[in-house]
Every structure is written in C-alpha cells, then in structure tokens.
Amino acid sequence: MTPATYPTELENDATLTNGARVRVRPIRADDALRLVSMYDRLSRHTAYQRFFTVMRRLPPDWAQFLANVDYQRRLALVADPAESGEHEIVAVARYEPTDDPHVAEVAFVVQDGWQELGLGTMLLGDLLRAATARGITRFRAWVLADNRRMLDLLTRFTDVRSRRLDSGVVELEFVPRAPAPPAG
C-alpha cells in the first residue's frame, strides 16, 4: 500500500469568537505525542464525554492509531493555536469507517478552555465537507445523553435522520444539511 498524500487543501486558518486564531489541518503521524498531551489537558468530564471512560493517560498505541489515517476512509482534523509555534493540539474532529462505505462514524473533542468559541461548529463543517468530497454521504455518532453541547451541535447543523437512546447513549444518524439557497 502506498502512503496517502497529505491533503494540504484541508488546511486553513480561522478566527474564533473570542478573536483567537487557530490553524486547522489534517492530522499527521507525528501528532501522536501531541494527542497524548492534549488528553492530559482535558478535564475528566470532557475526556469521559469523548471516550465514555476516563483513563489516567491516553495509551500510546491508541495515540498512534488515532494519528495514523489514510485521509480517505479515515480522516482527522486538528486545531492548533496560531500563536503556538509548537503545534499544541486543542481540538480533534475525526471520522472512521463503518461496515457501509458511504457511512462514517464521527467523533469530536475540544479542550475545555477552547469550548464555546465556535471551534466545534467550524470543525464539524470542515469534516463533513472533506468526507463528502471523499464519497461519504451519511454519518453516525454515539453521544452520551447528557452531552447537550454535542447533541445540540449535530441537531443545529445537520439533518438528523434517526435518533436512538440505549443505556444513556444516543445513536444519531445524519447527513450534512444542504446549504440555504442564496437570497434574492
């Protein structure tokens, strides 16, 4: 298998609602240690909402797996503060394959101090556009029922086709929301 080409077209700079600038880019294999560091900075609550468990540390083999993607069936976008020369990851949005090649599972995590600034909304849009460009048309997410932020994000910015609650976890199936037609 030949190595995947890094998709530079997915890199962009953005300004958050508080004026902070971030660089959004596809994850790279050398981000594994930065993922471990990011996990260390998450509150227990945020870590639990993302992984449905709290670990003392993100296992290095998990970090390696999460950082190594093929940029087609598996993709992750990370956000780095623009003023940080060290590429400190503060958010990750990813999709993973399912048994259906047109459906991907999505997951997000935003470091606590970077929440409520529009970063999750921006990453959702970027991730869905990248997936759609790669032939993925439907999405699935498992979200803890008390994770109102994630449930609200998906409900506001996607078209939810089904919602199922089981043992405190909501399974959502959704598609990207069609853009509104131009006014006029």
Domain of 133: which CATH number? 3.40.630.30
Per-residue pLDDT of the chain (184 residues; tens, 9 = 90+): 445 689 999 999 999 999 999 999 999 999 999 999 888 888 887 776 676 666 677 878 888 989 999 999 999 999 999 775 667 999 999 999 999 988 999 999 999 999 999 999 999 999 999 999 999 999 999 998 989 989 999 999 999 999 999 999 999 999 998 765 555 5
Residue-level pLDDT at 72: 94
| φ/ψ bin of 168: left (φ > 0), alpha (ψ from -120 to 50), beta (otherwise) | left
Tokens 């471990």: give the residue.
36
Q: Running DSSP on this structure, what letter comes out for residue 12?
A: E
Q: Which amino acid is at 154?
A: L
2 located within any domain: no
Residue-level pLDDT at 180: 52
Residue-level pLDDT at 43: 81
| Residue 99 structural domain | 8-176
- For the chain, the domain total comes to 1
69 located within any domain: yes
CA atoms lying within 13 Å on the CB side of residue 143: 23
**How far is Cα 67 from Cα 159, in angstroms, rounded to an integer?**
29
Residue-level pLDDT at 17: 94
30 located within any domain: yes
pTM (two decimals): 0.89
Q: Are 23 and 82 in contact (CB under 8 A)?
A: yes
| Cβ-proximal residues to 137 (8 Å cutoff; 6+ apart), any chain | 102, 103, 175
Q: What tokens were used for 84? A: 């940080």
127 located within any domain: yes
17 located within any domain: yes
181 located within any domain: no
| φ/ψ bin of 69: left (φ > 0), alpha (ψ from -120 to 50), beta (otherwise) | beta
CA atoms lying within 13 Å on the CB side of residue 31: 24
